[in-house]
Amino acid sequence: MLEARNLQSGYGEMAVLKDLSFTVEDEIFAVLGSNGAGKTTLLKTLARLLPMQSGDLSLRGEDITSEPAHHMPAHGVAYVPQEANVFPDLSVMENLSIGGRTGHRPKAEKLEEVFALFPRLKERLGQAAGSLSGGEGQMLAVGRALMQDPSILLLDEPSAGLSPIFVEALFSSIADTRRERGVTIVLAEQNAVKTLEIADRVMVLSLGEMHLLRDTASLSMEEITEAYHI
């Protein structure tokens, strides 16, 4: 689905990611690591919001190394940043409608799928997005991305700052999205415990380098904890 080869990326001349090579299959692919590990930089690079300093990136065998960010939705890639991920002055419905402008299926059909995953959004359609709680805002951001009918969903720390009840609901919805819609998900997170419950494979970053890449079933929390303290 997605392949990175010797990927190096960062800000200006400063390299944050160093020589990363990995593939993302039809799965939930989790990226774990502590603050500063490079998780956000990686997702911004995959979304083509950051230029690559070196290496290659391909999607379904097509080279997208130099592809501009605004072309990525047409490639089936949707990106949900950690912050500033909704239009606060627009209503919930207006936010969802913006996401629904891409894809070929009727908007009503896609809306019903989003409401099935996030019933709270249906209750707040006329409410300004900026007045939602943190958990509801994250649900809206993910819902708007799903309105694009993506084949790959990039989620940057969606549980950050959420209450435990919203974290539980959000991770459940992410798993449902993968199972019911067949969307490939790249999930960057700090919440290792919840991530291991839903991910198929896990890559742990440490200071921009790959510390390990394993199937979740063969990965222990001791190994994760060790990586977080490198």
Return the residue matching tokens 């083509």.
48
Q: How far apart are CA 190 and CA 210, in angstroms?
A: 15
Tell me the pLDDT band of 187, cut-offs 50, 70 and 90: very high
154-160 mean pLDDT: 91
Nearest to 169 by CA among 141, 135, 140, 144: 135
Q: What was the pLDDT predicted at 91?
A: 96
Q: What was the pLDDT predicted at 229?
A: 62
- Tokens describing residue 36: 């500063």
Element (H, E) at 135: helix 134-146
- Tokens describing residue 138: 């994250």
Q: Which CATH number fits the domain 2-228, given the four candidates 3.30.230.10, 3.40.50.300, 3.30.470.20, 3.40.605.10?
A: 3.40.50.300
Contact at 8 Å (CB) between 18 and 208? Answer: yes
Each residue's pLDDT tens digit, 58-86: 999 999 999 999 999 989 999 999 887 89
State CA 47 to chain mean position distance: 10
Each residue's pLDDT tens digit, 16-75: 999 999 999 999 999 998 888 899 999 999 999 999 999 999 999 999 999 999 999 989
176-187 mean pLDDT: 92
- Tokens describing residue 169: 């609901």
Q: How far apart are CA 53 and CA 40, in angstroms?
A: 16
199-226 mean pLDDT: 88
**Hey, where are the domains in the chain?**
2-228
Contact at 8 Å (CB) between 91 and 126? Answer: yes
- Tokens describing residue 162: 């959420």
151-177 mean pLDDT: 89
